[in-house]
A and B are shown apart, each in its own frame.
Chain A
Amino acid sequence: MAYIWTLLLGISLFCGLLRGDGDLGRAAMEGAGRAVELALGLTGPLVLWSGFGSLLARSGLQGGLAQLLAPLLGRLYPTARRDARTMEAISANVTANLLGLGSAATPFGVAAVRRMGELAGQERATHEMCRFIVMNTASLQLLPSTVAALRSSLGSAAPFDILPAVWLSSALSVAVGLSAAWALGRLFP
């Protein structure tokens, strides 16, 4: 990030000097001010959604979803299925992602990959590890709460009308990611 930040400043300075107009100093202060406005607008919806997320976890709904998904996940991870601890971490990660609890999903995901690494006993990623990571980077989300919070804070008329489009795009990208992982796994065993 340090490089990216410095690079962005350098590019702006270069282009600004090249053009010779535009008040860069004022623009910088404006950007900083806008960030705080954005964060303030985002706070309410984000607090509400995080609260809802913890309610989902405590009410046992997340666990119910995990049970529902167990057969599918067992098929995707035949080696991991033999170890209860790995499977628990994987399903906690997937359900937290599905419910839009991104920050809760990461610790479970890390635990799952670490356990898979222990069992594999090598420094080379296994097929199932790659599959699991691709599934995480492709983003499975039923409730994209941060984006919806962002839209409502900016005055959208219907912050959640993007849901069907988000579901379809996510599903498509997960499908392509898993197929690509499968094909690349065959090409480079």
Chain B
Amino acid sequence: MTAPLIPALFFLVSALALGRRVDVYAALCDGGREGLALVGRILPGLVLLLTAVELLRASGALEALTRLLSPAAARLGIPPETLPLLLVRPLSGSAALAVGADLMAVHGPDSPVGRTAAIMLGSTETTFYTVSVYFSAAGIRKSRYAVPAALAADLTGFAAAALFARIL
């Protein structure tokens, strides 16, 4: 059902922009260059973090951690394999991308675990990073209840992702 959605979206937006006399091709190329720069920016972090993930797996630490936390995850209906993703998601965007990519590669992007990981990545954010960047920019010292409320939202996002990965 979603197969023609993306090309149709591309076509509609391109046609509309053309109607408004926007140089569609130049806009796509300029934005694409930013995307390329983004890949360059995240690559070093991705290398370090996937190295760490691979080390954690080879040493058996990943397995031990998953086993340790799986009773709590089971109560929320979250697949225990995705627990490492839950732990790094609020802290670092590139770490979350590395762990999520690892889960999708190992279990398959269309497997239940791979889909859950993808939905979790899509529906949550790097909470601590966002809070610290925004508040330090504004010179705020007392963040009050922003962090607990944001973490409540994250936990809901994870549980909801697991639920909707199962039923949708």
Contacts and interface: CB of A to CB of B under 8 A. Distances in A.
B107 to A, nearest CB: 10
Name A's interface SS. helix
B160 A184 contact: no
Name B's interface SS. helix
A46 B104 contact: no
A158 B38 CA distance: 24
B76 to A, nearest CB: 13
Interface residues of A, number: 96
A98 interface: no
A38 B31 contact: no
A136 B43 contact: no
Contact of B47 (A26, A32, A159): A32
Contacts of A184: 144-145, 148-149
B144 A49 contact: no
Interface in A122-147: 123-125, 129-130, 132-134, 136-139, 141, 144, 146-147
A22 interface: yes
Interface of B: 1-3, 5-6, 10, 13-14, 16-17, 20, 22, 24, 27-36, 38-39, 42-43, 46-61, 64, 91-92, 95, 97-98, 100-102, 104-105, 109-110, 114-115, 118-127, 130-131, 133-135, 137-146, 148-150, 152-154, 156-157, 160-161, 164-165, 168
27 contacts: A14-B61, A22-B59, A28-B55, A32-B47, A36-B43, A38-B50, A38-B101, A39-B46, A47-B35, A49-B35, A54-B28, A54-B34, A55-B24, A55-B28, A58-B17, A109-B134, A113-B135, A125-B143, A129-B135, A134-B149, A137-B127, A141-B123, A147-B100, A150-B118, A151-B109, A169-B157, A184-B149
